[in-house]
Structure 1
C-alpha cells in the first residue's frame, strides 16, 4: 500500500481534546491564560511560561501530557494502517514537544514518517519554548482560512524556500515517488483549507459535528475528495480501515490496468 498517504491532525483527532487547553487547565494556569488571551496571540501565549505552564518544570508538563485522554481504539487504528503499509504523517497546530511526548508515550511515534507542527526547544534554563510554524509578523502565509502562525496547505510567495509549505510539499514529494492517494483526518477549521486541496480519488475524514464537518457541509461543492465522517475513536478505526482498504483496491486496479495496457501495446493491440 505504498501509494497511500494518511495525514492526521492531532488535537481532537488522535487525542480526544486540545493539548494546549489540557496542559493549561491541568497546571492551574487557566485564569491567567484567559485574562491575556484577548490581547496576545494564542501561539505567543503558549510560549509564556506563567500564562501556560504556571511556572512548572518541563517534567511536570510531560507528566500532564502523558495523562491526556485518548480513545482506546485510536492507537490500534494507527498501528493497523501503518502495518498495512500506509505512509502516516501528522500536520498539527499543536507543538512538537506536546505531540512527540504523547505519541512516544502511547507507542506510536515510529508509525509516523513526519510530524509538521509548531517548533519547540528547551532553553538554557530548562524552560520549554514554543514558536510559531510561520513568523506571521515578517512572512504571512497569505491564507485567510487558517490561523496566522500556520496554513496546513501552503504559504504565500513572501516565504523563502519551503518554509510554510506543508500539504502542498507533501503532495509534490509523494507524487514524485509515485504515490497517488491521500486520506486526511481532522476536526478543526484549520483542516478545511487542506481538505479543499485534496483531489478526486482522495478521501477526507472530518470528525462529525466539529468545525471541519460543519464547513464541509456548507461547502460540499468545493470538496473534491470523498467524505467519510466519524464521531469517536471506535468509528475512526472502522472508517479509516475501510477507507484504506478501498484506496488499496483502487490502487491495485489502477496498477493492473496499467500493466494490461502495456501488455496490449507490446502485443500490437490498439
Structure 2
C-alpha cells in the first residue's frame, strides 16, 4: 500500500499524554512551569524549563528515563508496525520536539517505521542540556495562520507534504490527531483523504462545529484499540477500492482491445468484399 501516507500527531495520539507535561511533572517542576506559563509561548517555555531542569542537576539520562516511562496504549506499537509492514508510508507532524519524540520511538523500537518527523527542533547542546527551538522562527516572521500557535502551523506542513507528492501516484493521506493544532491540517486534506480525529478531544470539538468544512472522510476513534481498528479498516477499504478500480480498468482495456480487433476484422472483411 505504498499509495497511502499515514500522518500521526504524537502527544495523545501515539503516546497517551502530553510529553512536555510528562517530563516536567515527573521531574518535579510542575509549580515552576505553571508559574511561568502565562508569561511566554509554550514552545519558549519548554526551552526555559529544560534550562531550569539542567541547572538543578538533572541529566540527559534522567530525562530519557522519564520518557521511557511515558504512558502508551498496548495496541499502538503493534498497530504502527502492522501498518508499516503493509507498505504504507508513515510520518509524524507534532508540536512536541525532536529530542523527546526520537527518544520515545527508539525505546519503543518503531523509529524506523517513520520516514519523516516534522516537529520543533530539540537537541543536546555543548553544555549538556536539551534545547527546544520553534519549528517556525516566529521572532523573524509570522507564518500567517490565525488557527495555529506561533511556532508551528501544521497546515503548512501538510501542504508541503501534498506538494511533494507526484500527481501520477495518486497518494492518499490518513491523518490522525487530537488537539486544536490538528484542526488546521484537517482543513487542508482532500476529498480522497481520510481524517481520524480523537473523539471528545479539542480537534473533534472544532470539527463538530461545522463538519462541512472538512473535505476528507471522517472516522473518529477513542483509544489505542479503537485507533488500530479504525486505521486498519480504512487501509483495507482503500485496498478494496484500488483493486476494484484496477479490475474496472483492466476490463475496460480488454473491451477496448476487443472492439479494436472487431473493427479491424470488419475492415478486412469490407476490403475483401470490395
Give matches, 1:93-108, under 5 Å. 93-108=95-110
Q: Which runs of 5+ in 2 are unaligned?
A: 261-274
> SS state of the match for residue 20, structure 1?
helix
Partner residue of 2:223? 232
CA RMSD of aligned residues (A): 1.8
Does the CA-based 8 Å contact 1:45-1:51 persist in structure 2? no
* Partner-residue secondary structure (3-state), 1:37: helix
2:51–2:130 contact (8 Å) kept in structure 1: no
Alignment partner of 1:205: what SS? strand
SS in 2 for 1:129: strand
Given the alignment, which residue of 45, 65, 73 partners 1:63?
65
Point out where structure 1 has 5 or more consecutive residues left out of the alignment. Answer: 155-165
How far off its partner does 1:179 sit?
3.9
Q: Say if 2:6 and 2:90, in contact at 8 Å, map to a contact too.
A: yes
Quote how far apart the aligned CAs of 1:123 are: 1.0
Q: 2:207 aligns with which of 213, 216, 220?
A: 216
Q: Is the radius of gyration larger for structure 1 or structure 2?
A: 2
Counting matched residue pairs gives 259
1:196 deviation in Å? 0.9
Rate the CA distance shift 1:177–1:103 in 2: closer, same or farther, 3 A. farther
Look up the match of 2:89: 87
Given that residues 60 and 129 in structure 2 are in contact (C-alpha distance below 8 angstroms), is that contact kept between their aligned partners in structure 1?
yes
Aligned match of 1:72: 74
Equivalent position SS for 2:131: strand
Against the structure 1 CA distance between its residues 215 and 52, is the aligned structure 2 distance closer, same or farther, given a 3 Å change threshold? farther
1:196 aligns with 2:190: no
TM-score (structure 1 length as normaliser): 0.91
Give the Å deviation of 1:199: 1.3
Question: Once the 2 structures are TM-superposed, how far is the Cα of residue 264 of structure 1 from its aligned partner?
Answer: 4.7
SS at match of 1:47: helix
Q: Is residue 22 from structure 1 mapped to residue 3 from structure 2 by the alignment? A: no
Q: Distance in 1 between matches of 2:202 and 2:34?
A: 22
What's the TM-score once normalised by structure 2's chain length? 0.89
Name 1:173's counterpart in structure 2.
Answer: 164
Shift, 1:171, TM fit: 1.1
